[in-house]
């Protein structure tokens, strides 16, 4: 137990330099985009000198850049992400986006794990069978596909051609889908969730299959079988427990990758989440907003990694011993 606590502390401490690294990269590159006041000014009609002066003071533009970074970091640590060039505070804009993004990501992840692990086990148990070939082929296609492109194809078929599901947004504007405002968000959720689930599923199936194949070949599996245990017990109790720990890591990393991939998928479905907002903000050079979204996603990824490490430590206690 003590080793587990020490392990957790070590992982949390590791997050600090990583967070700082991302903060430094986003701040200085964002800073290279130019003077934020010029960008704000483009949106104002005849700004008075007093307004400009206030903005200058707000962004500390009379200070050297490293001092500005410290100001920015200080605000960041205190939960102040600044004001986007549209004039609204970044944090209050980001809140709802975070929720819609997580709704899509978490649902897909849960589905991918729940479906992917049994499929991977089945595929490994029936190695080189027809079903196994089909599963691995379908999986490697998912692994080789740009997620957003699959999204476009799905929209063409199921939304434009068949007209079964909406093609964009998280809720309808005027008329609800399927004739009900309760069902409407579900109708919007189905296509993006299906696409993201399939792509995450592919990675999980591949990995579970490969690990199971390796574990099933071990002597202790033979011993377990020889002692008369049922095939089910051998597969799920003995083999899967040992095959699952690398999968836990990949699920954590995959969640991070999926979050980082959100800009493309959410743009395809006009899904009002962090990724779509990030794309729009970056194209408009709304640097405070871009920095804010990057920081929020980084925090979510780091927390996901921490949770993964914890689960890993519980599944495989050896990792807590250094």
Partner 1 sequence: MAWRRFRRNKSGLIGGAIVIFFILVALAGPYLVAYPPRSYQSLYEGDAGDPPSFKHPFGVEISGIDVFSETVDSTRNDLYVGLAATLITTLIGVAIGALAGYFKGAVSDILLGVTQMFFVIPVLLLILLFARVFSILVFKGLGLTLIVLILSFFGWSGIAFIVRGETLRLKEMEFVQAARSLGARPFRLLFRHIVPNILSPVIVIATLDIAGFILTEVVVSFLGFGDPNTSTWGLLLNEGFPYVRTTWWVALFPGLAVVFCVLGFNLMGDGLSDALNPRLRE
Q: By CB under 8 A, name the binding residues for partner 1.
A: 14, 17-18, 21-22, 25-26, 29-30, 32-34, 140-141, 143-146, 148-149, 152-153, 155-156, 160, 210, 214, 217, 253, 256-257, 259-261, 263-264, 267-268, 278-279, 282-283, 285, 290, 293-294, 297-298, 301-302, 305
Q: Under a CB-based contact definition with an 8 Å cutoff, are residues 119 and 138 in contact?
A: no
Q: Return the residue matching tokens 């137990």.
A: 1
Residue number, 242 or 294, with CB nearest to partner 1? 294
| DSSP state at residue 261 | T
**Rounded least distance, CB 161 to partner 1, Å:** 9
Helix residue ranges, H only, 217-286? 219-226, 231-233, 240-260, 262-268, 274-283
SS3 call for 127:
coil
Length of the chain counted residue by residue: 322
**Rounded least distance, CB 58 to partner 1, Å:** 21
**Rounded least distance, CB 112 to partner 1, Å:** 18
Residue number, 119 or 259, with CB nearest to partner 1? 259
Residue number, 121 or 290, with CB nearest to partner 1? 290
**Rounded least distance, CB 170 to partner 1, Å:** 19
Residue number, 20 or 110, with CB nearest to partner 1? 20
Q: Which residues contact 76 (CB under 8 A, 6 or more apart)?
A: 23, 295
**Rounded least distance, CB 36 to partner 1, Å:** 13
Residue number, 303 or 314, with CB nearest to partner 1? 303
- Residues 113, 203, 15: CA angle, nearest 5 degrees: 80
SS3 call for 89:
strand
Of 173, 162, 178, which is closest to residue 272 (Cα–Cα)? 173
| DSSP state at residue 271 | -
Residue number, 298 or 320, with CB nearest to partner 1? 298
Residue number, 23 or 244, with CB nearest to partner 1? 23
SS3 call for 195:
helix
Tokens of 59: 């962004």
**Rounded least distance, CB 111 to partner 1, Å:** 22
Residue number, 245 or 279, with CB nearest to partner 1? 279
The three-state DSSP-derived secondary structure of 150-169 is HHHHHHHHHHHHCCCCCCCC
**Rounded least distance, CB 54 to partner 1, Å:** 25
**Rounded least distance, CB 272 to partner 1, Å:** 16
* Nearest-angstrom CA–CA distance, 14 and 103: 28
* Nearest-angstrom CA–CA distance, 217 and 210: 11
């Amino acid at each position: 137990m003590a080793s587990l606590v020490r392990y957790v502390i070590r992982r949390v401490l590791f997050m600090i330099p990583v967070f700082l690294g991302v903060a430094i990269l986003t701040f200085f590159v964002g800073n290279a985009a130019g003077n934020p006041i010029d960008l704000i000014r483009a949106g104002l009609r005849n700004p008075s000198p007093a307004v400009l002066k206030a903005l200058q003071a707000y962004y500390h533009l009379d200070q050297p850049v490293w001092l500005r970074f410290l100001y920015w970091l200080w605000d960041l640590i205190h939960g102040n992400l600044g004001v986007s060039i549209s004039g609204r505070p970044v944090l209050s804009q980001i809140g709802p986006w975070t929720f819609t993004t997580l709704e899509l990501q978490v649902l897909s992840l849960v589905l991918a794990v729940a479906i992917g692990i049994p499929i991977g086990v089945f595929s490994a148990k029936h190695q080189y069978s027809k079903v196994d070939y089909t599963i691995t082929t379908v999986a490697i296609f998912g692994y080789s596909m740009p997620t957003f492109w699959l999204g476009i194809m799905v929209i063409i078929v199921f939304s434009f051609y068949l007209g079964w599901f909406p093609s964009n947004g998280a809720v309808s504007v005027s008329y609800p889908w399927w004739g009900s405002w309760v069902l409407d968000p579900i109708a919007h959720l189905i296509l993006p969730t299906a696409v993201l689930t399939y792509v995450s599923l592919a990675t999980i199936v591949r990995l579970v299959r490969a690990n199971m194949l390796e574990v099933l070949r071990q002597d202790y599996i033979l011993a377990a079988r020889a002692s008369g245990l049922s095939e089910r017990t051998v597969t799920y109790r003995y083999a899967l427990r040992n095959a699952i720990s690398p999968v836990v890591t990949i699920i954590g990393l995959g969640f991070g990758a999926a979050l980082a991939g959100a800009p493309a998928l959410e743009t395809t479905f006009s899904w009002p989440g962090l990724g779509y907002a990030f794309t729009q903000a970056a194209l408009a050079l709304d640097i405070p907003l871009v920095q804010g979204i990057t920081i929020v996603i980084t925090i979510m990824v780091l927390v996901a990694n921490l949770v993964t490490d914890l689960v890993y430590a519980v599944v495989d206690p050896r990792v807590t011993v250094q």
